[in-house]
Amino acid sequence: MVITHHGGQCFKVSFGDTTLAFDPISKKSKLSPAKFGSDIAFVSLYHPDFNGIEQVSHGNRQPFAIDGPGEYEIGEVTARGFGVRTTYDKKERFNTIYQVTLEGMNLVFLGALSDPEIDPKILGELGDIDILFLPIGGGDVLEVPQASKLAVKLEAKCVIPMHYDKKALDAFLKEEGETNGGGKPQEKLTIKKKDVAAMSGEVVVLQAR
């Protein structure tokens, strides 16, 4: 599995011939829009920062869009979405937390989460998390201390921060004890089940493309 970051909360996850897009950035966003082809697109919240499905439609690839709570099975990918209330851009909205299983790994994408207190019923459904996509930027999403505590609570083997500026990232890495270049951004994360099994709360910072 190869994971790359495309700004904001936008991630591309590729494995075999399949490509997933999480929270693709729309042209209407103030963020730089992503542009790549995907087979499945996950939208956690309806806002231009996250719902640019047209940006991950390319050539023959017209993604299957998943944009809310429910259970989904597309090819080798099984996914579940859990709806939680959030406030984004000064509006009350619904954010969807996604749990995605592929290549024997359990990925949890928290989306634009602003409240660290997740319903215990949802927490119980998430299982053992291999890779956690965690918003840390404050403002409309979790503040750094909240994000750090939630990562510990969820006991994710690998944590990928998202939705941040440099100040928030530095604060998060300090909170996590990542100093002396431990949180140096990587261009991509290439990972297998056996790799993640050896991890224990490791933070992987991916450089936005």
Return the CATH number at 73. 3.60.15.10
Helix, coil or strand: residue 148: helix
In terms of residue numbers, what domain contains 172?
Answer: 2-203
Residue whose C-alpha is closest to residue 40's, from 91, 75, 71, 9:
75
Domain count, the chain: 1
Q: Give the integer Cα–Cα distance in Å for 108 and 97.
A: 7
pLDDT of amino acid 189: 96
Greatest CA separation for the chain? 45
Kindly state whether residue 103 falls inside one of the protein's structural domains: yes
- Provide the whole-model pTM: 0.95
pLDDT of amino acid 180: 42
Kindly state whether residue 208 falls inside one of the protein's structural domains: no
Kindly state whether residue 172 falls inside one of the protein's structural domains: yes
Residue whose C-alpha is closest to residue 85's, from 44, 121, 48:
44
Q: How many CB atoms lie within 10 A of CB 182?
A: 12
pLDDT of amino acid 183: 67
Helix, coil or strand: residue 164: coil
Walking along the chain (209 residues) 10 residues at a time, the average pLDDT comes out as 96 95 96 92 96 90 94 95 92 95 96 95 95 95 96 95 94 79 82 94 92
